[in-house]
Amino acid sequence: MNQILQDAPTDTPHADTSPTATISADSAPAEPSPPDDAPPAPSHPRFTKPQRVAFVQSAWHRDVVAECRHAFLDEIAARHIARDRVDIFEVPGSFESPLHAQLLAKTRRYTAIVAAGLVVDGGIYRHEFVADTVIKALMDVQLRTEVPVFSAVLTPQQFHETQAHFDFFRKHFATKGIEVATACAETLLSLERLRSQVAAGII
């Protein structure tokens, strides 16, 4: 399953598209005005060159991992990489992410690649070796190709298929989505400056 996925609005778990949930513009409540002492929205630097990012998402516990994607897209857009500059790919599990990341990096189409997944203890075998293998392989990809690869592949100490754990890890993946978007944007800016200095013979 290495096709590009469309991040359609109906994929967002928070959206309610039923007729009873539709609110017309006339009946919608007015947006509250921000308080006078509200801090200004953060201003992020812009890139010199266009950026394109590949987001490789594991299908295992898709609804949990999707929270990372949603938060990533919101934060990366705030950092001047538009949503239509992010291509979404889905793989069966985290173990399949490194090969996809490597093939995507070799296309030279992407300036960064993000992998997201959830590796959990199935109760039969130790799951840490999967997580360790995936993280090491993703690091190898970026060192071989010089395309930065970012990991939001998480392996919790405990994960039980209960509503409480699903809710907790959805929130946790949303936080990780913001964090990985921040790391991605700041690294791309840093590499842009570094490569410019190398090309100019400054370093």
Q: Please list, residue by residue across 130-164, b when 16 or more beta carbons sit within 10 angstroms of its beta carbon and e when fewer do.
A: bbeebbebbeebbeebebbbbbbbbbbeebeeeee
Q: Where are the beta strands (DSSP E) in 43-164?
A: 53-58, 86-91, 112-118, 149-154
Q: Where are the beta strands (DSSP E) in 22-163?
A: 53-58, 86-91, 112-118, 149-154
183 within 8 A of 77, measured Cβ to Cβ: no
Interior CA angle at 104 toward 110 and 180, to 5°?
A: 60
Instruction: Copy the structure tokens of residue 157.
Output: 């100490």
Check if 126 is active-site: yes
Instruction: Copy the structure tokens of residue 169.
Output: 């890890």
Catalytic residue among 62, 79, 126, 170: 126
Catalytic residue positions?
A: 126
